[in-house]
Structure 1
Amino acid sequence: MDNQFCLNVSGIPKELSLIIELLKSINSGDVQTSNRELLLDIDWNLFINQAAHHRVYPLLYSKLKMMDEHVIPAYVIQSLHQEYKRNTFHMLHLSAEMERVAKLFTEEQIQLLCLKGPVLAHELYGDISLRTSGDLDVLIPIKKLEQAERILASLGYEKDDYIQTVLNDWKWRHHHVTYIHPRKMIKIEIHWRLNPGPGKEPSFNKLWERKRRSELTSYPVYLLGKEDLFMFLVSHGARHGWSRLRWLLDIHQMMNQEMDWKKVYQLLNYYHYIPVGGQSIVLSSQLLNTKVTKEMSSLLVSKRPRELAQEAIFYLETMINLHTDPVPEDVARYHTRHLFSLMSAQQKFFFIISFLYPYPEDAETLPLPTKLHFLYFPLRPFLWAWRKSRKDVLRRGENNETPLILFKADTFFCWKKALCEPFGNSVHEFT
């Protein structure tokens, strides 16, 4: 990577800049921040909120507790300590549940791969208390979904059935379904894909062949092979704009581990993630001082990873949460454009083509018997344009009667706009 290149981080709040500086010192083993100016005029309540938003309070507390209280106020350390303890108990709780679920799935001959959760924390940090996890994410073969649901239901889990579908588009447009245990307050996400489609990714069988056994549990629990895990983490973090530093810290930890970077390059190249992989390396090296080795340089040949890394700084300038409605309009607009910029030419082509495939909204607009659902293919542009024109009329405050002439005039324009402005739907469909 060009040593002259530097990310423009001037828009990052001072409180987050201090957190990043402290994380750098944590990485080097020295917890004293070298930039004393960062300690001036800090809003410590905002500092705590930033640490919570970015899910980095376990690492911060583990080191800051040893610092002079004159540097960091005592109440800040105490607040981080409370969150650290809460997270430790939560991770132990998740670990026990993960082992229990894995055992039941194995007994029912369902192959299961852990994607995140305590298994990832142990793999990357060697200590489950040093990383947060809100839920358990596991990957299974799609043909085993119904069987997995029966097992989880027998354990008391309830399905969060938010997915609407037509013509089985859920199989590729979505990538997981959520189950919640109301008493244990545990959420499990059952994945059948690593990422939402359309997009090429390794088959479950390929991932299973390259699996590794976790050393966290006594009962065999498996996770992705290192190179597959790196590809998954960079694609996941990029898809969320690296809006939480926790995801970038995961990349930092992986870059410091033994890995076959030739295999990493081959995987990322085959599945069109080279720029995304390079983006993660640029962000980690520039923000966290992660060492970039010669073996990683093949991911940084072009300028695109740097451009994408600079785009991602937008998500650090405010505490952006893409999963909480309502997502501010300016953020949603920026995020849809950024997601499109992450794609390769082939990925963009298939994404735009996917707009030709019917959406559940089409069935809501014009309900048809199941046997006639194939008609949604030729009808899709007209149904989309109709919804668009109705929204435009309501936005202008006109009455509910949309003139037929207006509909016909807008049909071609709206459909063309749909192709030229991808991500026209809710941002949540792509996160």
Structure 2
Amino acid sequence: MRRQRSSRIASVCPELRLLLASLESGPKGPLGNDDSLDQRIDWSRFSKLLARHRVLVAVCAQLQASDHWRVIDPAIRSELTQARNRITLTQMKAVAELLAVASRFEQEEIPYLSLKGPIVSQLIYGDPVKREFNDLDLLVRERDLARAVNLLGGFGFEILDKPLWDLILSGNARPPSLYHIHLRKGTVLIELHWKLSRNEALMPFTDDQLWASRRQVQISGRSVAIPGARELLAYLDIHGSSHCWNRLKWLWDSHQLSQATTEPYPCEASRIRSRLAGRFWRSESGDDTHPEPPRSVSSWRERFCIEQILAEEGYPGRATNMARRSLFVCSLYASLRQKTGYVLQLLLWPNAYEKVTLPPWLRGLYFILGPALWLRERVLLRR
């Protein structure tokens, strides 16, 4: 028997209810018609929610296949159509670059893995541009990093994090929170990783297991290397949890992939995701992916993530909220040593390395400069 949505979600605004229903019907077929819901929708607010949760392309596709589309205010409908076309065109360019780069990496025998973005869209929708993404995430082994950067330079990509790249090339110690650099070519941005995340200690698998899980997904008749199903799901769960599941796009991605993943890794981030998704959508079987007792997930963490998801302004930028977000992520670590390491990473803010260059014997000052520079940016943003 299919599980009913919780009363917590039934109380949200009608705009968010329509967004949730549209996503849930995405891989399964067109939405049904609900005229009573249409009459209560503030379409301008709905449009803002689509942009805020980065699900405009997928939801608009579902609305156009139903009678909901015709009742949207014509001006809003035109704006949504233009936004969808603009996003789709930009993402098609990014996919073309991904296919070209992936092919060249294979030719040059540089092992890589494509993360998130178009590969997740392909897995969920069978379409690499239906899921919105801002950049292409590529993972290479650290020993192949310089070769990968040079190869991307040959494709016209320019390094955006030049001070950090110079630090890497110098061979000096780098901040432990540094795990990727950015490269850009026109509208296409690449995040080139040598570690999955700054929260790598949360990953329930080793590097060897990750690379051994390597598989191929077909995009437009071309092969792209991606992590195994279990590894990809765990990575996405940890990525979403590191952002407190602030966007429904991330929660929906993991929820959908979890339905097709057998024997997922038992990690805290996945358990939290399962419980959160259960408050917004139903699983195919009606069962949780991780049916552990309720005590396995702290109630304050669940409430906090829901608060972040329902915040219409996106990332609440208040210092108190940022501290609570950091506390949430810290709670995912099992040991005191891991929690301490996470806090130290917060203090070693990577931007400090970009703005101030210190000799090796003075680098302990970055623990002070990191928070100071972060506070300075907060103050400047408020002016």
User: Normalized against structure 2, the TM-score is what?
Assistant: 0.81
- Aligned equivalent of 1:111: 111
Paired position in structure 1 for 2:381: none
Paired position in structure 2 for 1:48: 47
Partner secondary structure for residue 283 of structure 2: coil
* Deviation at residue 309 of structure 1 after TM alignment: 2.5
Give the alignment partner of residue 173 of structure 2, picking from 145, 157, 168: 168
Q: Distance in 1 between matches of 2:313 and 2:162?
A: 23
Q: Flag the structure with more relative contact order, 1 or 2, with Cα contacts below 8 A and sequence separation at least 6.
A: 2
Q: 1:318 aligned to 306, 311, 322, which one?
A: 311
Q: 2:333 aligns with which of 327, 338, 343?
A: 343
Indicate the residue corresponding to 2:60 in structure 1.
61
Q: CA deviation at 1:355?
A: 7.6
**2:341 aligned partner, one-letter code:** F
**Distance in 2, Cα, partners of 1:226 & 1:109:** 23
Q: Give me the whole-angstrom Cα distance separating, in 1, the residues matched to 2:376 and 2:20.
A: 34
Matches within 5 A, 1:21-420: 21-26=21-26, 29=29, 31-32=31-32, 36=36, 38-68=37-67, 71-161=71-161, 168-170=173-175, 172-181=176-185, 184-197=186-199, 199=201, 201=203, 202-257=205-260, 259-261=261-263, 264-265=264-265, 268=266, 274-291=267-284, 296-299=289-292, 302-304=295-297, 307-322=300-315, 327-346=317-336, 347-352=338-343, 369-370=359-360, 372-373=361-362, 384=368
Structure 2 vs 1, CA of residues 7 and 168 (structure 1 numbering), >3 Å: closer, same or farther? farther
**Cα pair distance change 1:357/1:18, threshold 3 Å:** closer
**Count of matched residue pairs:** 367
Give the greater-gyration-radius structure (CA): 1
In 2 relative to 1, CA 244–32 (structure 1 residues): closer, same or farther, beyond 3 Å? same
Equivalent position SS for 1:302? helix
> Partners in 2 of 1:108 and 1:337 — Cα distance?
43
> How many angstroms apart in 1 are the aligned matches of 2:343 and 2:271?
24
Tell me if the contact between 1:84 and 1:129 (Cα under 8 Å) persists in the aligned partners. Answer: no
Query: Unaligned regions of 5+ residues in structure 1, if any?
Result: 269-273, 392-422
Deviates more, 1:60-69 or 1:246-255: 60-69
The CA distance in 1 between the partners of 2:347 and 2:54, in whole Å, is: 39
> By how many angstroms is 1:293 displaced?
5.8
Q: CA deviation at 1:200?
A: 5.2
Moved more, 125-134 or 136-145: 125-134
Q: Secondary structure at the match of 2:192?
A: strand
| Contact persistence 1:282–1:305 (CA under 8 A) | no
1:92, 1:355 → 2: CA distance? Answer: 35
* 1:167-207 per-position Cα deviation (integer Å, ceiling 9, x unaligned): 5233x3122110011xx321011011111146254444421
CA change 1:217–1:112 in 2 (3 A) is farther
Q: Name the CA shift for 1:70/1:321 in 2 (closer, same or farther; >3 Å).
A: closer
Identity of aligned residues (%): 23
Would you say the 8 A contact 2:269–2:332 is kept in 1?
yes
Q: Is the 8 A contact 2:5 2:281 kept in 1?
A: no
Q: What is the Cα deviation at residue 247 of structure 1?
A: 0.9
What code does the residue aligned with 2:249 have? R
**Aligned partners of 1:91 and 1:362: how far apart in 2?**
31
**The residue matched to 2:276 in structure 1 has which SS?**
helix
Alpha-carbon displacement from aligned partner over 1:289-348 (angstroms, at most 9, x marks no partner): 2346658334555341654232101112323545xxx93334323322322233333531
Distance change in 2, residues 1:149/1:315 (3 Å): same
Contact preservation (8 Å) 2:179, 2:194: yes
What SS does the aligned partner of 1:80 have? helix
Change (3 A) 1:358 1:98: closer
Q: 1:21 to 1:99 in 2, by over 3 A?
A: closer
Distance 1:39 1:330 in 2: 37
- Does the CA-based 8 Å contact 2:160-2:181 persist in structure 1? yes
Pairwise CA distance, 1:63 = 1.7
CA gap of 1:72–1:192, structure 2 versus 1, over 3 A, is same
CA contact (8 A) 2:275 2:288 kept: no
Matched AA of 1:49: K
Deviations 1:112-168 (A, max 9, x none): 100022222111211224211211111100111111111122222111117657952
Measure how far apart 1:66 and its partner are.
Answer: 3.0
Q: CA RMSD in A?
A: 3.7
With 70-79 and 211-220 compared, the bigger mean Cα shift is at: 70-79
**Alpha carbons 2:31, 2:62 under 8 Å: kept:** yes
Cα pair 1:233 1:251 within 8 Å, conserved: yes
Q: 1:368 to 1:27 in 2, by over 3 A?
A: closer
Q: Which ranges of structure 2 fall in alignment gaps of 5 or more residues?
A: 379-383
Instruction: Name whichever of 232-241 and 331-340 sits farther off.
Output: 331-340
TM-score under structure 1 length normalisation: 0.73
Please list the CA deviations of residues 9-61 of structure 1 after superposition, one character each: whole Å capped at 9, or x if unmatched.
5885542233223334546646136593x545433112111111211122211
Q: Which amino acid aligns with 1:256?
A: Q
